[in-house]
Amino acid sequence: MKNQYFKYIITLLIVISFSACKKKTDTVSEKKAPISVTTVAVQQNDMKEYLTFNGVTQYQKKENIRSNVTGYISWMKFKIGDNIRNGQTFASVRTKEQDALKEAVKIDSSLSKFVSPITIRSNATGVFTVLNVTANDYVAEGDVLATVVQPKSLVIQVNVPYEYEDAIQIGTSCEIILQNGEMLNAQVTGTLPSIDPVAQSQVFLIALPDANLPENLNVQVRTIYKQDTNAMTIPKTALQTNELLSEFWVMKVVNDSLAIKQTVVPLLKNDSLLQVKSDGLKINDLVISEGAYQMQDSTIVSTKKQ
């Protein structure tokens, strides 16, 4: 009987001990590990929001060199891309009448002054972009022989939607971004007094007299739309929103371990930063920039600074 009693006591102690260990194990396993996140401090920056438009280079001044007689081109040495000065000889033309006088000159030498080819001179200084004739071509009086553009008349033509009429004016500073990444500083110098009836956009002109750019080059024109020199900013990656984009918030870290949901109002933005307004945020507060997606309010986290 005693042996059975002792066996019963021992068995009971083993069961109680096993239950306590299991309960302790379950309690430990219920503890959640902190979520590892990356934090960044809220900063104060000079924020600029830009408007960007597409533009194309154009030469405003183009002059045509025309023939002043009917005949054949007897001399012309230029090619496309060559430069010419105002008043410089472009070509010489001989007429049928002059060819006929060659025989008469043998009889009457006084007619020799009428045999010399007629000179055609350039009426502009610039670069040839079009050449319509070569030596020995037949031309009629008034024909366009070539087109000369004046490089200093280069402008960028920008189509600006009329809704931004207050943001773009003559004298507005802007940046010209070329396709190779080069950037030029310039100002709006003119506008056309008409609106495109379909696109409802107005043409603005930016003069670039010293730029060595080809015509019909597509560029980007960027100008400051809004600016705040004392903006409270966070990285764009720190901002979260709902599906309807009606609510915005960040996860603010307090005591280096607790992430709480903080409502914000987004304002200006650039490529990487976002200006926010919030009563619960201040400069140097830590917000989660990575790892906060779908995180619940009051989540335990372990942080590493970016």
- Judge whether 241 lies within some domain: yes
At residue 205, what is the residue type? L
Q: In a 3-state reduction of DSSP, which class is residue 2?
A: helix
- Judge whether 293 lies within some domain: yes
**pLDDT-based confidence at 3, cuts 50/70/90?**
low
- Summarize the confidence of residues 264-288 as an average pLDDT: 94
Q: In a 3-state reduction of DSSP, which class is residue 74?
A: strand
pLDDT at residue 98, as a whole number: 77
Q: Are 129 and 181 in the same domain?
A: no
Backbone angles phi, psi at 152, to 5 degrees: -75, -5
Report pTM: 0.66
Dist. CA 83–CA 241, nearest whole Å: 60
Q: Are 112 and 186 in the same domain?
A: no
Q: Domain span at residue 106?
A: 62-149
**pLDDT-based confidence at 10, cuts 50/70/90?**
low
Q: Are 180 and 55 in the same domain?
A: yes
Q: Are 117 and 176 in the same domain?
A: no
**pLDDT-based confidence at 40, cuts 50/70/90?**
very high
Q: In a 3-state reduction of DSSP, which class is residue 102?
A: helix
Select from 192, 210, 227 the last residue of a domain. Answer: 227
Question: Pick the residue with more confidence: 12 or 269?
Answer: 269
pLDDT at residue 104, as a whole number: 61
**pLDDT-based confidence at 304, cuts 50/70/90?**
confident
pLDDT at residue 275, as a whole number: 96
Q: Are 55 and 204 in the same domain?
A: yes
- Judge whether 19 lies within some domain: no
Neighbours of 43 (CB within 10 A): 14
**pLDDT-based confidence at 270, cuts 50/70/90?**
confident
Select from 169, 198, 227 the last residue of a domain. Answer: 227
- Judge whether 93 lies within some domain: yes
Q: Are 161 and 278 in the same domain?
A: no
pLDDT at residue 108, as a whole number: 60
Q: Are 96 and 81 in the same domain?
A: yes
- Judge whether 6 lies within some domain: no
Q: Are 130 and 170 in the same domain?
A: no
Instruction: Write the DSSP assignment of 126-189 as a string of letters.
Output: EEEEEE---TT-EE-TT-EEEEEE-GGGEEEEEEEEGGGTTT--TT-EEEEE-TTS-EEEEE--
C-alpha closest to that of 69 among 91, 93, 98, 39: 93
pLDDT tens column, 47-100: 999 999 999 999 999 999 999 999 999 999 999 999 999 999 999 999 887 766
pLDDT at residue 17, as a whole number: 59
The count of structural domains within the chain is 3
Q: Are 55 and 180 in the same domain?
A: yes
pLDDT tens column, 131-175: 999 999 999 999 999 999 998 999 999 999 999 988 899 999 999
Tokens of 50: 């830009």
- Judge whether 17 lies within some domain: no
Backbone angles phi, psi at 73, to 5 degrees: -70, 115
pLDDT at residue 12, as a whole number: 56
pLDDT at residue 21, as a whole number: 52
Backbone angles phi, psi at 11, to 5 degrees: -65, -40
Select from 149, 172, 191 the last residue of a domain. Answer: 149
- CATH number of the domain within which 99 lies: 2.40.50.100
Q: Are 55 and 174 in the same domain?
A: yes
Indicate whether 13 pLDDT > 70: no
Instruction: Write the DSSP assignment of 248-305 as a string of letters.
Output: EEEEEEETTTEEEEEE-EEEEE-SSEEEEE-TT--TT-EEEEES-TTPPTTEEEEEEE
- CATH number of the domain within which 254 lies: 2.40.420.20
- Judge whether 4 lies within some domain: no
Q: Are 234 and 93 in the same domain?
A: no
- Judge whether 269 lies within some domain: yes
pLDDT at residue 97, as a whole number: 78
Q: Are 142 and 249 in the same domain?
A: no
